[in-house]
A and B are shown apart, each in its own frame.
Chain A
Amino acid sequence: MTTDDALPERTMNTPQGPAAAPNRVARRRFLRYLGLGAASAGAGAVIWKAWPDSDPPSTADDDNAGATTAAPVDQRLLVVIEMPGGNDGLSTLVPYGTGAYYDRRPSQSVAANEVLAIDDNVGLHPSLIKLADRDLAILQGVGTSEPDLSHFVMFNRWWTGDPAGDQNYTTGFLGRLCDELDAGAVATGVSLGFTPHPTMDAAKATTMALAEPDALWYLTEEEEYLKSYRSGLAALSSTDVPGGDPGPADSVRLGLADSLAFGQVVANLPEPADTYPETELGYQLALAGRLLAAEVGIRIIHVPMGGDFDTHTNHRDRHDGLMTELDGALDAFLGDLQVRGLDDKVLVATTSEFGRRLDENDGGLDHGTGSVAILAGPVTSGLHGEAPSLTELDETANIVATTTMEDYYATLAEGWFDISATDVLAGTPTPVPGMI
């Protein structure tokens, strides 16, 4: 599509504008977690090398000093933030050190001096400024080995943990994790939404859907008619299973009992923290914080963002906004977990059904492959996996994934929960080493 002599030469040294001081601060802290000093850089001059060196801040005064040690396995919790629509990995972890990135995206790229540089090659999106201060693991090149570019197909594969789309699971990936974790809790997994989410469909564990605390108004409000209604439901429910194997009628009674019990949990949630931004993800993660703090046995929460990552048009503006929303809400969530004493227990991991095409298209980006995953919490900070190539693409001119969905999911299962990957995924996936 482009020829090398048609475009002005771009190197890492080409400034796109004045460097902003906050970037330097964020980069310094992030680099410290990588075990690198403020003066680190690879070969080749980069713009921020010109800033005055300074010593890293003293770890004794720093709230974010060092990586958190993870809690014992049986206390661990997982929050999966889904970015629906296809999050552009190249705008999230910007390969500012690769010429091809700017060649192929003349208008939809993030400027080198805007990124929160991690090393000579890549940096975080500029809006992820609060998160850059925290322990973040960035998993590169996440995708499937047999990509499909249909939202419908790929949603299904990610939700059910079926990379090739040939398993026809009746359970979701997170649902299967819940089945492994099932200890009879009132809810082992919760998806934040109005309707039960396919990714949380479990075979035996109870998993629930909850959009907001008031969504279960019929199970929580104190109004007289509703109290009578609930009384009636309670009378119809039962936790007794004669002979241990529920028949069809027993399942209904058990379902009602679990439903009412969950209603009680929701009616008695711990107080919300007031430190969250008033964005949709902010509200969702605030609720997640309360659900986890309730300590009723919820082990996994699925948070599908309401924002639309399917940026066919107006990519930069829209993606910038989405990154800002992610940064503010997730940072508040991580802080909330610290206050509630849960920060050593909670792993946050992002998913997206695919990435976006390397080449831009009329102010936007089409469906692509290979994105990134961001993990926060007790993680080994820094880059993980292998940077995908921006020159060796697949036959549809899309990025070739370097970390498969199943290996990423295996990492969550084995690395975090000590659940054997083959118990929840087909084939023999291999967890990504050294991340969790």
Chain B
Amino acid sequence: MGGFIFTIASWTVSYGAAVPSDQALIAHVLRRTGFGPYPGQVETAAESGVEATLEAVLTAAPPADPGPELSPWPPADVEEFEQQREADMHTLMGWWIERMLAPEAGLAEKMVWFWHGHFTSSAGKVEVPQFLWAQQQLFRTFALGNFRDLAQAITIDPAMLVYLDGGLSSGQDPNENYAREVMELYTLGQGNYTEEDVRAGAKSLAGWQIDEARLEAWFEPAMATTETVTFLGRTGRFGSSDIIDMVCDNEALPPWISAKLYRYFVGAEPTPDRLTSLAAGFRASDLELAPLVEEILRDPAFLESRMTRPKYPIEWVNSAMAALGSLQVEPLGPEDEVETDENDPEGADDPESDEDAAGGEETDEPEPRWAPAMWAYETLSQTPFFPPNVAGWPEGDRWNSAPLMTSKSMLALEFPALEGDLDPRDGGVVAAALRRASMYEMSDETVASLNQAAGSIAYPEERTNLVRRLVLLTPEFNLA
């Protein structure tokens, strides 16, 4: 990643420019459609231009990956499973984090994160890593596929049957949890269904049992209902796929999903007209996600809405580690002596801290590359697989609240940083640090603050170190 020499004229960071440069626009595109950008990616993409970058983002095939290596399934006995569970969760978590940390992580990966926060399930309640992996595979398969297919599949997904109690539901004693949440949060929104619909839906959705061995659900007619119900205005004897079809056919569905995806990518509410046209397109395609996302990304509002929403912790952590080159720093191994030095009085690089970072157990292994990311996500209250509740990750300014800025002030000091990859001779240390962090649109105010900080340190290495970490706390870096 290092070793680029830039000519100042072409690659200057624009300070408070009225018209954003290509680099600023491309950085924005990559930031919103991925988890980076990584140093150099904006420069490379700028050779082809904004339009070509957008095209590449929309057409990139997700990198092939065989998936995490979990323990053999099904386990021989309960005890074996108990022993393996923690290790498997660790493996699964690490695999996913590495996918999001990879420079190649693109739109498909960003959509997996979206679905994880939309069709929510939490590892706090779903304690089988294999169930969580099976669910995530649905998100990967249908990331930009057909919404109806995804909704049908997730309704009978074992992790979801656990999380929203579908596995406990029967026609005679229906559990309303999934019926309610699928309409309230996943598809229609409040006000577009009634309590009768929840009850009717719960009855008709029942019957699915979790086949633990095969990691799928199977239908047991004895647990289902044969009752005639009225659901969303239609009366009949329905099965679960009928219920989901009716939900998907409902006119409230296209605007609900379109608005949420618009907010995710554009970082602002769509205008009523825009929402109407997006919803109409989504319906016309029979709920195909790729055209909807493309329309959102090609909306002029997308390129205009730069730094309009807080970065989610998953975005802040990953882009911070990308900027610092954290993944390229060799993790400390058990054989490394840790000496306290004046630059690290608290032993922030102490491998003892691996204990919590790497899943709560002391091991003789060097900590995984992703361990600092995991610790950071937890510190910032956004741990993958642990959404706070069925509504998923909240939106809004809370992600840059005082306590989280406090935590980020610490994390910015603790992430490992690659040394020697930043050439301050090219336009000065602040310009170099900003380029490294793919920040091409900064306010004069922020740049002045960074220059002031740079001027306050005599030693060049310390100055570089300080400035590149301070960049992570700038308002601009904390916004997507």
Inter-subunit contact A255/B401 (CB<8 Å): yes
A198 at the interface (CB under 8 A from B): yes
Complex partner residue of A223 from B345, B380, B396, CB under 8 angstroms: B345
**Smallest beta-carbon distance A368→chain B, Å:** 19
Chain A window 180-208, contacts with chain B (Cβ cutoff 8 Å), 1 for yes, 0 for no: 00000001000000111010010000111
Inter-subunit contact A170/B394 (CB<8 Å): yes
Contacts of B309 in A (CB 8 A): 248
Inter-subunit contact B413/A218 (CB<8 Å): yes
- A208 with B403, Cβ < 8 A, contacts A236-B474, A252-B475 known: yes
CA distance A374 to B185 in the complex (A): 38
Count CB-based A-B contacts (< 8 Å). 142
Which one, B144-152, B238-246, B251-259, B385-393, is touching chain A? B385-393
CA distance A218 to B457 in the complex (A): 17
A251 at the interface (CB under 8 A from B): yes
- A207 with B308, Cβ < 8 A, contacts A156-B388, A236-B446 known: no
Complex partner residue of A217 from B346, B448, B470, CB under 8 angstroms: B346
Contacts of B237 in A (CB 8 A): none
Near A by CB (< 8 A), chain B positions 424-462 give 443, 446, 448-450, 452-453, 456-457, 462
A275 at the interface (CB under 8 A from B): no
CA distance A207 to B404 in the complex (A): 10
Contacts of B407 in A (CB 8 A): 195-196, 209
Cβ-closest chain B residue relative to A207 = B403
Please report whether the interface of chain A is mostly helix, strand, loop or mixed according to DSSP: helix
- A194 with B473, Cβ < 8 A, contacts A170-B394, A248-B308, A251-B310 known: no
Inter-subunit contact A225/B475 (CB<8 Å): no
Inter-subunit contact A152/B124 (CB<8 Å): yes
Complex partner residue of A232 from B307, B390, B404, B450, CB under 8 angstroms: B450
Give the size range of B's interface with the partner. 35 or more
Chain B window 370-393, contacts with chain A (Cβ cutoff 8 Å), 1 for yes, 0 for no: 000000001111000000111100
CA distance A252 to B402 in the complex (A): 8
Contacts of A248 in B (CB 8 A): 307-310, 397, 400, 475, 479
Give the size range of A's interface with the partner. 35 or more
CA distance A253 to B180 in the complex (A): 39
CA distance A170 to B390 in the complex (A): 11
Contacts of B473 in A (CB 8 A): 232-233, 236, 256
A436 at the interface (CB under 8 A from B): no
- Residues on B close to A: CB < 8 A? 122, 124-125, 180, 185, 307-310, 342-343, 345-346, 378-381, 388-391, 394, 396-398, 400-407, 409-410, 413, 443, 446, 448-450, 452-453, 456-457, 462, 466, 469-470, 473-476, 478-479
Name 17 A/B residue pairs within 8 A (Cβ), A-sorted.
A170-B398, A194-B379, A208-B406, A218-B410, A225-B343, A231-B452, A232-B452, A232-B466, A233-B473, A236-B446, A249-B476, A251-B397, A251-B400, A252-B310, A252-B478, A255-B405, A259-B402
Top 10 nearest A-B pairs (CB, nearest first) are A255-B405, A232-B453, A258-B402, A235-B449, A152-B124, A249-B475, A252-B475, A196-B403, A259-B406, A170-B394
- Residues on A close to B: CB < 8 A? 150, 152-153, 156, 160, 166, 168, 170, 187, 194-196, 198, 201, 206-209, 216-219, 221, 223, 225, 228-229, 231-233, 235-236, 246, 248-256, 258-259, 262-263
